[in-house]
Amino acid sequence: MTNEINYIDFEPKLLNKNFWGTKTFESSTTVMERVNEWTRKNYNREIINVETIVLHKSTYGQENSNTSKLNMHGGYVYLIHKIRVWYK
């Protein structure tokens, strides 16, 4: 048995992008369905923790990711929301 700790991230997938650049993403319910499906398929893994995380876009770098814009009164910061599952 290994004692190595790993994680897997789940984020809303891009569903649609219109001509004006407006993006539509999966709902949080759909993302949780994917998390639960992964958990069922990996039942032999020990789940340590499930958390929501927010990362700066610059640290992730994916163009079509689920981002939100936060006004910092000196510029904007783009954030990415994910669900992270820690497991052994």
Q: What are phi and psi of 12, to 5 degrees?
A: -60, 130
Q: What is the pLDDT of residues 18-54, one digit of tens each?
A: 887 777 778 888 999 999 999 999 999 999 999 988 7
Distance CA(8)–CA(27), nearest Å, equals: 19
- What residues contact 81, with CB distance under 8 A and at least 6 apart? 11, 12, 52, 53, 54, 66, 68
Q: What is the pLDDT of residue 59?
A: 44
Model confidence at 9: pLDDT above 70 = yes
Which pLDDT band holds residue 70 (cuts at 50, 70, 90)?
low
Distance CA(55)–CA(70), nearest Å, equals: 12
Q: Which residue has the higher pLDDT, 2 or 24?
A: 24
**Beta-strand runs (E) in 3-75:** 6-10, 14-17, 23-25, 47-56, 67-71
Which element (helix H / strand E) includes 86? strand 76-87
Model confidence at 62: pLDDT above 50 = no
Mean pLDDT of the residues in the chain: 79
Q: What is the pLDDT of residue 61?
A: 46
Per DSSP bridges, beta strands 76-87 and 47-56 are antiparallel
